[in-house]
Structure 1
Amino acid sequence: MPSRQGIGLMSGTSMDGLDLVCCTFTWEGDQYQFTLDQAESIPFDPRWKGRLLYLEEQSGEIFAKTHVYLGHYFGEAIRGFIDRHSLKPDFVAIHGQTIFHQPDRNFTAQIGDGETVASYLPCPLVSNFRNKDLALGGQGAPLITLGEQHLFPDYRLFLNLGGFSNLTYGATAFDISPCNIVLNHVYRHQVDGKEGQDFDRDGALAASGRLAPELLSALNALSYYHKPPPKSLGWEWVQGEVLPILDDWTGTTADLLHTFSVHAARQIGAAVRQVGARDEPMLVTGGGRYHRFLMSQIAAELAPEGIRIVEDVPEGWVDFKEAIVFAFLGLRTLQGRPTTLASVTGAKHDVVTGSIHLPPTGGWAMFAG
């Protein structure tokens, strides 16, 4: 049975850090298995977080410089990960940092220049997993569905609570609503510095608040929630549609966080009912899993459908599932196999995505001779 070791790097929209994994993949035909060999989460340098949060407002020159400089930052992080654990990877895959995602306008942008990253590596790098899917009429998202199907076959229902919440049920997947990207934004702008952290740890402040019915109604009325899939979300949509509602809110931060958490949970409940899932275990991953108040609201929303949140999750899956999946997608690209599903993204057909960057010292070729 063939075997390859790959590294995956994920940097999500919530910008809480770089998730790095090293996995060994084996396969027979189109059936895959994996082991999680090493995993680390590296907090974003605060200077990088500040630069990336407002990059879409900067000049083209600053954008281009940041694309290259972030490539160095990623490359150094991966090289350090390799050296610390004495790894000998066959390939590396990175998602990049999303700055723009506007599928309705047929473009998306993930920065962290692949050629720059590859200059640090002893093996091929795969990056740029979204653009080809968009060029073929798709959303370029969600990208993790194939990995969920192949790597976690004991489950059909998945919920990821990252910057955005997204749902997978069988071959259907879509972004549900903003999640940590808004909760962290609110906390960072209204509380950060007073508590010595930039997120609501365990959802404690949200739990202390009270529901604001008018705010909840305004959020639930957003038109995105009434669109059928395929669909996906980006920070620009949050800026244009969600933040104006929150900015008009004059209540307490605790009540805002409480109400937005209830809103996110209710949209998750609506999405589960939309796909017709009932009496299923659901694998919940991502940083939002640690938000106790949000999780309690999700559990209450899903209880009438018989949906049971999986409690005994193998080590590393909650924090690193997306990085694991991107390592897997890098393998799929190098195998010439599809990495996106038309049923999920809306592209004309299943698509092999990803740009391949060869190591600077050679020793790897697609065509010998």
Structure 2
Amino acid sequence: MANNNYNVLGVMSGTSLDGVDLAHIHFTETNGKWTYIIGEAETVPYTDAWVQKLKEAIDYTPRQLEQLDHDYTALLANIIREFIAKYNLEGLDAVCSHGHTILHRPHEGVTLQIGNLPQIAALTGQNVVCDFRVQDVALGGQGAPLVPIGDRILFANYDYCLNLGGFANISFEENGSRLAFDICPVNTVLNYYANRLGYPYDNGGQIAEGGQMQQELFYELESLDFYTAPYPKSLGFEFVKGTVLPLIENYNVQTEDKLHTFTNHIASQVAQVLAHKQNGRLLVTGGGAYNTYLIKCMQALMPDMHIAVPDDKAIQFKEALIFALLGVLRLRGDINVLHSVTGAAMDHSSGKVYKVQALA
């Protein structure tokens, strides 16, 4: 009989570059129903030097990427090892780690998450499940989003699950299938302009709220081809760097106005995705859930939607929680990627498993 109790560590680094999220999770499966407890959880921020490296890596040569992957694997392993020691964690079944996305061009068959090299098991002294996206891209899928199966299993009491991280992505059931896709950039753009003003992020959206709407910029953003493309679809930082930021920079307006306009653009895109689903319960997680101005803009466009913002641990560590679940499902040989979401040829169980004993 399969083990029904799991003691794992979920590890996630998102495109907003705020740091590495680590969450100690206990899962229990009883008659097909899963429950979880989030124990110790923490975000370990990157140094300024690492933030700069991760921002620049999209333009690295293959040799530079290889070295970065090696260095980042060592960094990530050290962060994981220190977290385990700090909280005296024992008896872990696995560390389930997403790594950090550097390249994501699924239409070219390319996706790269650094920090997933085999030596991470030996460096952490733990069994590791990681590198969840590559297999899906090889099967013709987008390799993203991967969180929706966790939404289905752990958050079925919500009609829609919206994550506002570096990008906005949404997940919901339709005609018996789980559908999910990326909507638009969020903190990859908002943090860029907050940084320009000397802030790490726009706290509560206060700067954006004080800005003015630039209608021409707003309409040009709304007209980007990605928004009318059919799903499954996903975004990488390439879209922000190559399309969104150059578009915004064409406008000689105040940074506050750019933040105001882009925040309203995010709300507009979310509302358009849910245009025919205006009633229901919408769970909002990710760093953008703290952006009260963005939530206010969304609510104004969707007055009949119940927008639920959960407790801090769920907001901050939902993705670490779900990648922990993906790792557990992989260990069980259960499906953890849905083709209805990614467009792959089939549902599958994805992720590489590195056993510490085999690498010692």
Q: How many angstroms apart in 2 are the aligned matches of 1:258 and 1:269?
A: 17
Assess if the C-alpha contact under 8 Å between 1:342 and 1:349 holds in 2.
yes
Aligned to 1:367: none
Q: Does residue 112 in structure 1 map to residue 119 in structure 2?
A: no
Aligned to 2:210: 208
Query: What whole-Å deviation, never above 9, does each CA across 1:140-184 have from its counterpart, x for those lacking one?
Result: 111000111111222131110000001111211100000000111
Q: Secondary structure at the match of 2:321?
A: helix
* Higher mean C-alpha deviation, range 28-37 or range 278-287: 28-37
Instruction: Give ranges in structure 1 of 5+ residues lacking alignment.
Output: 364-369
Equivalent in 319, 332, 345 of residue 348 of structure 1: 345
Instruction: Give ranges in structure 2 of 5+ residues lacking alignment.
Output: none
Assess if the C-alpha contact under 8 Å between 2:271 and 2:298 holds in 1.
yes
Aligned to 1:165: 168
Q: How many angstroms apart in 1 are the aligned matches of 2:156 and 2:7?
A: 20
Q: Does residue 3 in structure 1 map to residue 5 in structure 2?
A: yes
Aligned to 2:328: 331
Which amino acid counterpart does residue 290 of structure 1 have in structure 2?
A: Y
Assess if the C-alpha contact under 8 Å between 2:150 and 2:322 holds in 1.
yes
Displaced runs of 4 or more, over 4 A: 360-363
Q: Does residue 269 in structure 1 map to residue 271 in structure 2?
A: yes
Assess if the C-alpha contact under 8 Å between 2:122 and 2:359 holds in 1.
no
Q: Does residue 218 in structure 1 map to residue 216 in structure 2?
A: no
Q: Secondary structure at the match of 1:251?
A: coil
Query: What whole-Å deviation, never above 9, does each CA across 1:17-60 have from its counterpart, x for those lacking one?
Result: 11100101111353211111111111111111111100122232
1:271-286 maps to which residues of 2 (within 5 A)? 271-273=273-275, 276-286=276-286
Q: Does residue 174 in structure 1 map to residue 181 in structure 2?
A: yes
Which amino acid counterpart does residue 329 of structure 1 have in structure 2?
A: L
Give the superposition deviation at 1:361: 7.0
Aligned to 1:317: 314
Q: Secondary structure at the match of 1:26?
A: strand
Assess if the C-alpha contact under 8 Å between 1:122 and 1:359 holds in 2.
yes
Equivalent in 120, 123, 126 of residue 123 of structure 1: 126
Aligned to 1:358: 355
Assess if the C-alpha contact under 8 Å between 1:24 and 1:35 holds in 2.
yes
Q: How many angstroms apart in 2 are the aligned matches of 1:161 and 1:116?
A: 32
Q: How many angstroms apart in 2 are the aligned matches of 1:320 and 1:329?
A: 14
Give the superposition deviation at 1:243: 1.4
Give the superposition deviation at 1:239: 1.8
Q: How many angstroms apart in 1 are the aligned matches of 2:166 and 2:24?
A: 23
Assess if the C-alpha contact under 8 Å between 2:14 and 2:101 holds in 1.
yes
Structure 1 residues 297, 67: CA separation in 2 closer, same or farther (over 3 Å shift)? same
Q: How many angstroms apart in 2 are the aligned matches of 1:106 and 1:328?
A: 25
1:244-255 maps to which residues of 2 (within 5 A)? 244-255=246-257
Assess if the C-alpha contact under 8 Å between 1:19 and 1:42 holds in 2.
yes
Equivalent in 31, 35, 38 of residue 37 of structure 2: 35
Query: What whole-Å deviation, never above 9, does each CA across 1:213-237 have from its counterpart, x for those lacking one?
Result: 0000000000000011100001111
Structure 1 residues 62, 26: CA separation in 2 closer, same or farther (over 3 Å shift)? same
Q: How many angstroms apart in 2 are the aligned matches of 1:105 and 1:336?
A: 28
Aligned to 2:197: 191
Q: Secondary structure at the match of 1:337?
A: coil
Q: How many angstroms apart in 1 are the aligned matches of 2:50 and 2:243?
A: 26
Assess if the C-alpha contact under 8 Å between 2:162 and 2:171 holds in 1.
yes
Q: How many angstroms apart in 2 are the aligned matches of 1:61 and 1:104?
A: 23
Give the superposition deviation at 1:360: 4.5
Structure 1 residues 216, 324: CA separation in 2 closer, same or farther (over 3 Å shift)? same
Q: How many angstroms apart in 2 are the aligned matches of 1:90 and 1:314?
A: 26
Which amino acid counterpart does residue 172 of structure 1 have in structure 2?
A: L
Q: Secondary structure at the match of 2:39?
A: strand
Aligned to 1:156: 159
Structure 1 residues 361, 316: CA separation in 2 closer, same or farther (over 3 Å shift)? same
Give the superposition deviation at 1:2: 2.0
Give the superposition deviation at 1:123: 2.8
TM-score normalised by structure 2 residue count: 0.95
Aligned to 1:300: 300
Aligned residues: percent identity?
Answer: 36
* Higher mean C-alpha deviation, range 277-286 or range 223-232: 277-286
Assess if the C-alpha contact under 8 Å between 1:68 and 1:113 holds in 2.
no
Which amino acid counterpart does residue 307 of structure 1 have in structure 2?
A: M
Indicate the RMSD between aligned Cα atoms, in angstroms.
1.5
Q: How many angstroms apart in 1 are the aligned matches of 2:268 and 2:61?
A: 39
Q: Secondary structure at the match of 1:61?
A: helix
